[in-house]
Chains A and B, each alone.
Chain A
Amino acid sequence: MRMIAFANRNTKEIIRDPLNLIFGLGFPLVLILLLSVIQANIPVELFQIQRLTPGVTVFGLSFMTLFSATIIAKDRGSSLLQRLYTTPLTAVDFIIGYTLPIVPIAVVQCVICYIAAVFLGLEITVGVLYAVLFIIPVSLLYIALGLLCGSVFNDKQVGGICGALLTNLSAWLSGIWFDLDLVGGLFKDIAYVLPFVHAVELERSVLNGDFSNVFEHLWWVLAYAVVILIVAILTFLRQMKK
Chain B
Amino acid sequence: MTAVRIEGLTKKYKDVTAVDNLSLTIDKGELFSLLGVNGAGKTTTIKMLSCIVSATSGKAFLNGNSINDDSDKIKSIIAVSPQETAVAPGLTVKENLELMCGVHGFSKEKSKSKIAELSRLLSLDEIIKKKAGKLSGGWQRRLSIAMALISEPEILFLDEPTLGLDVIARSELWDIIRDLKGKITIVLTTHYMEEAEALSDRVGIMRDGKLLACGTPNEIKSKANTENFEKAFIKIVKGEVI
Chain B residues within CB distance 8 Å of chain A = 50-54, 72, 75-76, 78-80, 82-91, 95, 98-105, 147-148, 151
Summarize B's interface: helix, strand, loop or mixed. Answer: loop
Contact of A88 among B52, B86, B91, B103 (CB under 8 A): B103
Complex Cα spacing A166 to B225, Å: 66
Contact of A5 among B79, B82, B101 (CB under 8 A): B101
- Answer whether residue A220 sits at the interface, using C-beta atoms and an 8 A cutoff: no
Is A83 touching B86 in the complex (CB atoms < 8 A)?
yes
CB distance from B171 to the nearest CB of A (A): 25
Could you list 13 A-B pairs, sorted by A, with CB under 8 Å? A2-B105, A5-B98, A5-B101, A6-B102, A13-B91, A79-B82, A79-B84, A82-B82, A85-B51, A86-B50, A86-B51, A86-B52, A89-B103
Contact of B52 among A1, A17, A85, A89 (CB under 8 A): A85
Which residues of the other chain, B, contact A8 by a CB distance below 8 angstroms?
A: 99, 102
CB distance from A93 to the nearest CB of B (A): 8
Chain A residues within 8 Å of chain B by Cβ, number: 25
Which residues of the other chain, A, contact B103 by a CB distance below 8 angstroms?
A: 2, 5-6, 84, 87-89
Chain A residues within CB distance 8 Å of chain B = 1-2, 4-6, 8-9, 12-13, 16-17, 78-80, 82-90, 241-242
CB distance from B165 to the nearest CB of A (A): 17
Contact of B90 among A12, A83, A88, A242 (CB under 8 A): A12
Is B151 touching A87 in the complex (CB atoms < 8 A)?
yes
Complex Cα spacing A79 to B46, Å: 14
Is B104 touching A2 in the complex (CB atoms < 8 A)?
yes
Complex Cα spacing A84 to B75, Å: 10
Complex Cα spacing A4 to B102, Å: 8
Is A83 touching B105 in the complex (CB atoms < 8 A)?
no
Which residues of the other chain, A, contact B86 by a CB distance below 8 angstroms?
A: 78-80, 82-83
CB distance from B33 to the nearest CB of A (A): 20
Taking A2-B103, A2-B104, A8-B102 as contacts, is the C-beta distance between A86 and B91 under 8 angstroms? no
- Closest chain A residue to B131, Cβ basis: A16
Is B105 touching A88 in the complex (CB atoms < 8 A)?
yes
Which residues of the other chain, A, contact B98 by a CB distance below 8 angstroms?
A: 5
Is B84 touching A87 in the complex (CB atoms < 8 A)?
no
